[in-house]
Amino acid sequence: MDEEISKRVRFCRVSELDAKGHVTRWIDEWRDEITAVKTAEGIVTMSSVCPHHGGELVPDAASGRMVCKWHGWEFDLKEGKCQSYNIAACLRIYESRVVDEYLEVERD
């Protein structure tokens, strides 16, 4: 049971995500900052730490990208691939689902 709990977290209320368009939180046990973004296709949850130098990534749902505040690197919201440079590093995508008015995020 403990392993099941550590793989899934209650991330935010769906109403908060609806109001703001995105929600970012640090998950201690996963050692990652995660952003949930509401897009036209649904909800995307991914790491919001830039693999370049650890800068803060902010979502731009209109362009479908996460953008690094430090150096302007851009990452695709669908697959987490870098759009600025041809690099192998990409953002980690997390599975998510709505349960009882909350968004739950799950890691593998």
Quote the distance between the C-alpha of residue 64 and its chain's center: 12
Summarize the confidence of residues 34-55 as an average pLDDT: 93
- What is the band of 40 on the pLDDT scale with cuts at 50, 70, 90? confident
CATH code of 78's domain: 2.102.10.10
Q: Report if residue 103 sits inside a domain.
A: no
Whether residue 26 has pLDDT greater than 50? yes
Provide the 3-class DSSP secondary structure of residue 30.
Answer: helix
DSSP code, position 17: H
Q: Report if residue 107 sits inside a domain.
A: no
Summarize the confidence of residues 57-79 as an average pLDDT: 91
Q: Are 23 and 35 in contact (CB under 8 A)?
A: yes
Q: Report if residue 19 sits inside a domain.
A: yes
Q: Report if residue 22 sits inside a domain.
A: yes
Domain count, the chain: 1
Cα–Cα distance between 85 and 74 in angstroms, integer? 9
Scan for tokens 């509401």, then name that residue. Answer: 38
Whether residue 1 has pLDDT greater than 90? no
Cα torsion 10, 47, 79, 104 to 10°: value is 0
What residue numbers bound the domain in which 74 lies?
A: 2-98
